[in-house]
Amino acid sequence: MFATLEQTDVAELHQFRDPATGLRALIALHSTRLGPALGGCRCLPYPDEHTALNDVCRLARGMSYKAALAGLPLGGGKAVIMEPDKPYDRAALYRAFGDAVNRLGGRYITAMDAGTEITDLDQVATRTRHVWGFSGDGMDPSPYTALGVFAALDAGIRHRFQRHGAKGLHIAIQGLGHVGSQLALMLARAGARLTLADLDPRRAQRLADRLNTRWVPADSLYDVACDIFMPCALGGVLNADTIPRLQAGLIVGAANNQLASDDDAQRLRQRDILYTPDYLNNAGGLISLALGHRQEDRSTIRQKVLGIGRTLSQLLDQADQHHLSPAQMADRQAEQRLHDDTGKHAWEAA
């Protein structure tokens, strides 16, 4: 356990168990230096505790870096619930999770993530006020996450292909949940040619039929010859096994922790595949929650989210100048901001 905490530089790990509801949850706080740790709650049927531990720690670090690069006065944290393998009362499970969040006294703020819905957060909100993005506050981050990824995609296209817009480009989208499906709709309107994939083939087929486009089984997407690959499902999909199969020149996705290891950024660079850092691409949801909590209007939130494209363009140029992968450059900048309070200053100037 401590080896995982040291590898991810996570400061705190909290474990919660409630036999009555079957709750087994982990909350990791990577950093609270710039503010309270904000991060979603992921609820999945993890195969074992080590997988859940590794996921929550890597996700917490990603949230710290995401907030730092976005210039927000927030730290990074994450929660995972090991979904029970037996029938359970979902509402009661999330109320128990709300009690767990409340025990941290506001040092951790929870939100939506894979496997958790707004209705689940509504249950959490009955036990704690430290929850953002539920029905009561009206802040749904997924449209802004999609908007930010779309802005990042445009920046990536300009850098990789020296052209503007996705019209006519072949884009393979992996994962058609809240964000992936919205991106598919946006890109179809923009004139892109799409190939879709999802672990649920019925979901992929329904959306493909709606957009009059193609879908393939989930694992086949890595072998599709395309211009752009967009991972929008779970993490670890870019690894030593899948990277050699990719036939894309650019990767811009919404999923967290797309790289299975730090070495995978170099593998992509060696194959001349431009990878844009996931926690920069998908910061739109976090930005919308933070600004929404400050009661900013939608126009202000939208402009701040669209700024992800400018930030990415600058980062890609700097990575080229320093002969680093974009992932290495992003980590370097995020760590610097975590230590020099740039995140606070950027927020105060906004």
CA atoms of 84 and 43, how far apart (whole Å): 10
User: How many beta carbons lie within 10 A of that of residue 245, not counting itself?
Assistant: 12
* Residue 233, both tokens: 């499902």
* Residue 205, both tokens: 């087929």
CA atoms of 234 and 168, how far apart (whole Å): 27
Residue 83 has φ and ψ, to the nearest 5°, of -60, 130
Q: Which of 78, 167, 304, 344 is catalytic?
A: 78
CA atoms of 295 and 291, how far apart (whole Å): 6
- Rounded alpha-carbon distances, angstroms, from residue 177 to 63, 96, 333: 20, 26, 30
With a CB cutoff of 8 Å and minimum separation 6, the contacts of 186 are 146, 150
Q: Is 78 a catalytic residue?
A: yes
pLDDT in tens, the chain (350 residues): 778 888 888 999 999 999 999 999 999 999 999 999 999 999 999 999 999 999 999 999 999 999 999 999 999 999 999 999 999 999 999 999 999 999 999 999 999 998 999 999 999 999 999 999 999 988 888 999 999 999 999 999 999 999 999 999 999 999 999 999 999 999 999 999 999 999 999 999 999 999 999 999 999 999 999 999 999 998 899 999 999 999 999 999 999 999 999 899 999 999 999 999 999 999 999 999 999 989 999 999 999 999 999 999 999 999 999 999 999 999 999 999 998 754 454 444 33
- Rounded alpha-carbon distances, angstroms, from residue 38 to 44, 151, 162, 213: 19, 23, 36, 37
CA atoms of 350 and 342, how far apart (whole Å): 12
CA atoms of 36 and 111, how far apart (whole Å): 13
Q: What is the DSSP letter of 247?
A: B
- β-pairing, 75-82 with 37-44? parallel
End-to-end Cα separation, the chain, in angstroms: 39
CA atoms of 36 and 88, how far apart (whole Å): 31
* Residue 60, both tokens: 């917490």
With a CB cutoff of 8 Å and minimum separation 6, the contacts of 40 are 78, 79, 110, 111, 112, 113, 114, 116
